[in-house]
């Protein structure tokens, strides 16, 4: 990797999410790490830096715009890691991926856009492999809990000699948080692309749309829950989870990039846990109706005017997001259940305090960047357009645990024995 003047450049620092990521980096241990804030307006960047206090007093500000390739190239060349919070990524993201891939600069973002990731893979995976750059998409709530959770679960199963992962289900057991206008803008851009191009629409519906070699994927059906149903294995009602469209495809890409280390019979889905009470089914039906519309904009392959209208009503405008109290009071808890090829039942617990899409996401994205800067000697020797689990693996799991997140793999039968 070429020498760089700045360890971390945060691009999009004046946006709603970008400013929160800057705030997290200012509060984290960044001793010995140089940080710069980048965006279109030097005045706004300076205001963000000044609002962060003494911790950010020596941070540089860098003027760059997605419409100015030369400015983006200069920014990438002077950075070890570029962090991008500028979306919709399908509209603004590829020029930055290109310059990072060409410069050999590591890159992380928050995208939940399947089509953007597919375009990034097709155009710049080989370029990044040649330069040594690690282009790591989806380093927030989508898709780190899913991707690293399954990765950590698989490591435990393998360590126990319990075979490989087979039927695997992520269940969101509890979640509280707000949604953003940026989420809407990104999703609407994907919907519009799918409406214009039947091929893009089909890509959104393909369970293996992010796989490195589609023809090499196993010939097994991948579940795609749309409605509400009682799940006998989980013992509760479940409904669709709106982030499943991107998360499941990222996890399947990880499995392929790791040489199918999870197994060739790995079947993966994500659902929202609704409980067992008498109102669970009714609650699930209402949630499914909303998720069907919102999920359409999160990569589930559903398009149309009805889904578009639901999304526009449900989410705020770009640049808006939940207030500080909502972000602080948010949280999520997740269980990932798997039946291994030897018939054993394992569970991974993943949890974090803070609004999933903001407070928790800023931790995940910030620590991803710090991991790439500080933990080089412990990271896999890989390059290309990657996933969090492939690029940063257990090193990031350890960092996130230290930052307060939970990643815990357990054998379900052991707990049943202890309880008896």
Q: Is the dihedral of CA 298, 65, 317, 143 positive or negative?
A: positive
Q: Average of pLDDT values for 13-39?
A: 96
Give me the numbers of helices (H) and strands (E) for the chain, helices first please: 17, 14
pLDDT at 242 over 90: no
- Is the peptide bond prior to 143 cis by the omega test (within 30 degrees of 0)? yes
pLDDT-based confidence at residue 293 (cuts at 50, 70, 90): very low
CA–CA separation, 371 vs 393, rounded Å? Answer: 10
DSSP state of 140: B
User: What was the pLDDT predicted at 296?
Assistant: 46
Residues 182-233: tens digit of each pLDDT = 666 777 788 888 889 999 999 999 999 999 999 999 988 888 777 888 999 9
**Burial of residue 333, with CB atoms counted within 10 A of its CB: 0-12 exposed, 13-18 middle, 19 or more buried:** middle
Residue 148 makes CB contacts below 8 A (sequence gap 6+) with: 350, 388, 389, 393, 396, 397, 400, 407
Report H helices in 32-79: 42-51, 69-77
In this prediction, residues 251-280 reach a mean pLDDT of 94
Per-residue model confidence as pLDDT tens digits over 35-61: 999 999 999 999 999 999 999 999 999
pTM, two decimal places: 0.92
Query: Highest mean pLDDT: which of 70-74, 240-244, 296-300?
Result: 70-74
At 77-110, the pLDDT tens digits run 999 999 999 999 999 999 999 999 999 999 999 9
Condensed to tens digits (0 to 9), the pLDDT of residues 296-351 reads: 444 455 545 555 555 555 455 656 677 788 888 999 999 999 999 999 999 999 99
**Which whole number is the average pLDDT over 266-270?**
97
Q: How far apart are CA 58 and CA 55, in angstroms?
A: 8
């Amino acid at each position: 990797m070429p020498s760089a003047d700045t360890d971390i450049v945060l691009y999009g620092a004046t946006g709603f999410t970008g400013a929160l990521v800057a705030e997290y980096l200012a509060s984290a241990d960044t001793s010995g790490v140089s940080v710069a804030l980048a965006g279109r307006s030097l005045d706004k960047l300076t205001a963000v830096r000044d609002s962060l206090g003494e911790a950010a007093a020596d941070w540089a500000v860098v003027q760059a715009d997605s419409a100015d390739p030369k400015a983006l190239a200069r920014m990438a060349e002077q950075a070890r890691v570029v962090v991008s919070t500028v979306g919709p990524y399908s509209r603004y993201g590829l020029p930055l991926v290109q310059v990072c891939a060409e410069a050999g600069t590591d890159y992380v973002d928050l995208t939940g856009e399947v089509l953007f990731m597919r375009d990034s893979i097709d155009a710049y995976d080989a370029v990044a492999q040649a330069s040594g750059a690690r282009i790591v998409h989806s380093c927030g709530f989508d898709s780190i809990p899913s991707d690293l959770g399954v990765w950590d679960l698989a490591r435990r199963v393998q360590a126990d000699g319990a075979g490989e992962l087979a039927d695997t289900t992520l269940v969101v057991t509890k979640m509280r948080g707000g949604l953003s206008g940026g989420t809407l803008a990104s999703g609407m851009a994907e919907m519009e692309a799918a409406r214009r191009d039947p091929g893009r629409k089909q890509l959104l519906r393909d369970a293996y749309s992010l796989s490195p070699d589609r023809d090499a994927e196993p010939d097994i059906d991948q579940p795609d829950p749309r409605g509400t149903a009682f799940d006998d294995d989980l013992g509760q009602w479940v409904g669709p989870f709106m982030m499943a469209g991107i998360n499941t495809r990222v996890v399947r890409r990880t499995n392929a990039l790791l040489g199918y280390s999870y197994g060739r019979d790995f079947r993966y889905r994500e659902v929202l846990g609704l409980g067992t009470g008498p109102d669970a089914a009714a609650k699930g039906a209402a949630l499914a109706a909303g998720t069907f519309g919102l999920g359409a904009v999160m990569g589930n392959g559903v398009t149309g005017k009805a889904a578009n209208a639901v999304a526009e009503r449900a989410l705020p405008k770009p640049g808006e997001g939940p207030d500080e109290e909502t972000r602080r009071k948010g949280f999520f808890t997740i269980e990932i259940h798997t039946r291994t090829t030897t018939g054993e039942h394992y569970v991974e617990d993943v949890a974090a305090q803070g609004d999933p899409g903001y407070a928790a996401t800023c931790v995940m994205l910030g620590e991803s960047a710090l991991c790439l800067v500080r933990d080089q000697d412990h990271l896999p020797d890989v390059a290309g357009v990657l996933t969090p689990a492939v690029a940063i693996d257990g090193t990031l799991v350890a960092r996130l645990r230290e930052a307060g997140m939970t990643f815990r793999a357990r054998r379900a039968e052991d707990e049943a024995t202890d309880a008896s």
